[in-house]
A and B are shown apart, each in its own frame.
Chain A
Amino acid sequence: MEDTEDTQGTGPAHGGRDPGDIDAIAALQDPVRRRLYEYVAGQGREVGRNEAAEAAGVARTLAAHHLDKLTEVGLLESGSRRLTGRSGPGAGRPAKVYTRIRAERAVSLPARDYRTAAELLAEAAEEAGLDAGLCAAARRRGASLRGSEAPCAGLDEAFATLAARGYEPHVERADDDGTGAPVVRMRNCPFHAVAERFPPLVCGMNLALLEGLLGTDGPVRARMDARPDECCVVVEEA
């Protein structure tokens, strides 16, 4: 349970650019499609056609068409599930459900490869044991991104800040029964690919960045509380 320098992930680690990236991004130009994508991506679970149609304010058949298109270009993945939760005879036909894929899409023209640069820098920092220096830089960056002397004023403001930075925050209650203080958890790690390869280094950097962004002496605080498939940090009232 101690030190682990060799921490490259078991998750998908591909640096190359998929030629389908441009098609994928282009598919989001359609406003209905984009609303559907953003809705499904924001739920962090499987979403059925009816639900997505309702959320996007379009007919079910149109939603189905666009959801399948989004699946075709690799932005969503689809499966089938009995939404009633029942099984066996009489449980009804399985419904098609959609979730966001974990792989990343990126487009730059001409191609630039910041992922490899980030991984090489992380590898060198890991080998040299530069965690403290990296975290100090991240904390400074966070503070400068905040752009104000005052720390973040509350959970609502923290939520908006995290959403703007792509963390996909959502609110949970501290206790399992739905009571207790609200805490902000995040479905997305903006540094996912590098974090999977160098978790203690990059997750530590992420926490320091968020500490800088939210402030460490204000009404909210960021703390490490890693869970599978989520950002490693949780934000709560101090």
Chain B
Amino acid sequence: MTSAVPAATAHLAELNVAKLLYPLDDPRVAPFVEMLDPVNASADSAPGFVWRLVGDGADDATELRPAGENVIVNLSVWESPEALWDFTYRSGHLEVMRGRRDWFARHVEAHLVLWWVPAGHVPSVEEALERLGELRANGPSPRAFTFASTYSAAEAAEHLEGTRG
């Protein structure tokens, strides 16, 4: 299912943001915090996983708050949309998703964005937040899209040049 295409020239980057209802050390968020390590470990070994953002000396990115004091971010790179889909919704991660209403505020704006990057490119948080901003401002495009409106790497290719850097 996950495409092990040799020498892929493009990888899929993903950012999602989640607004915490309570601080991370609050007992009401404990079930989420307990799942962080095992779920992150399963991401690292998932088919098609390439890279994910972690804080300095940390195993996850929960300490980074580039999008607001109570907003945690998740930034990762995958070989294909299918690989990301299978990890997100067809692995132990689904159990985290199931509890989302207990821990996170409901979003009014888009809070997940996908975009293609050249293989080997590590997206910066700034770049990721820019893409989310684009999606929120303009809706899905080859530069910033969602699972509901996925663009192929080929369709997005003409936009790839702009992300090098």
The answer to whether A binds B is yes
Pick the residue among A3, A7, A9 that contacts B18 (CB under 8 A). A3
Pick the residue among A6, A131, A132, A204 that contacts B147 (CB under 8 A). A6
User: Does A203 lie within 8 Å of B94, measured CB to CB?
Assistant: yes
Residues of B within 8 A of A54 (CB): none
Does B91 interact with chain A (Cβ within 8 Å)? Answer: yes
User: Does A224 lie within 8 Å of B110, measured CB to CB?
Assistant: no
User: Does B92 lie within 8 Å of A226, measured CB to CB?
Assistant: yes
Does A61 interact with chain B (Cβ within 8 Å)? Answer: no
Complex Cα distance, B110 from A200, in Å, reads: 17
User: Does A9 lie within 8 Å of B98, measured CB to CB?
Assistant: no
- Cβ of B130 to closest chain A Cβ, rounded Å: 18
Known: A3-B18, A228-B86. A10 touches B81 (CB 8 A): yes
Known: A226-B92, A228-B1. A5 touches B147 (CB 8 A): no
Against B, the Cβ 8 Å flags (1 = close, 0 = not) of A4-20 are 11111110000000000
User: Does A227 lie within 8 Å of B147, measured CB to CB?
Assistant: no
Nearest chain-A residue to B35 (Cβ)? A1
Known: A4-B111, A6-B146, A10-B147. A203 touches B98 (CB 8 A): yes
User: Does A10 lie within 8 Å of B85, measured CB to CB?
Assistant: yes
CB-contacts of A35-53 with B (<8 A)? none
Dominant secondary structure of chain A at its interface with chain B: loop
Complex Cα distance, B119 from A180, in Å, reads: 42
Does A129 interact with chain B (Cβ within 8 Å)? Answer: yes
Interface size for chain A: under 10, 10 to 19, 20 to 34, or 35 or more residues?
20 to 34
User: Does B107 lie within 8 Å of A3, measured CB to CB?
Assistant: yes
User: Does A1 lie within 8 Å of B39, measured CB to CB?
Assistant: yes
Does A225 interact with chain B (Cβ within 8 Å)? Answer: yes
Known: A4-B111, A228-B90. A200 touches B97 (CB 8 A): yes
Does A209 interact with chain B (Cβ within 8 Å)? Answer: no
Residues of B within 8 A of A228 (CB): 1, 86, 90
Residues of B within 8 A of A2 (CB): 16-18, 72, 74, 96, 100, 103-104
Complex Cα distance, B66 from A230, in Å, reads: 37
Given contacts A4-B100, A5-B106, 13 further A-B contacts (CB under 8 A): A1-B40, A1-B93, A3-B16, A3-B18, A4-B88, A5-B107, A8-B147, A10-B147, A131-B100, A197-B148, A200-B100, A226-B90, A228-B86
The 9 A-B pairs at the shortest CB distance, nearest first, are namely A2-B18, A8-B148, A200-B97, A199-B89, A226-B94, A3-B100, A129-B106, A3-B104, A228-B90
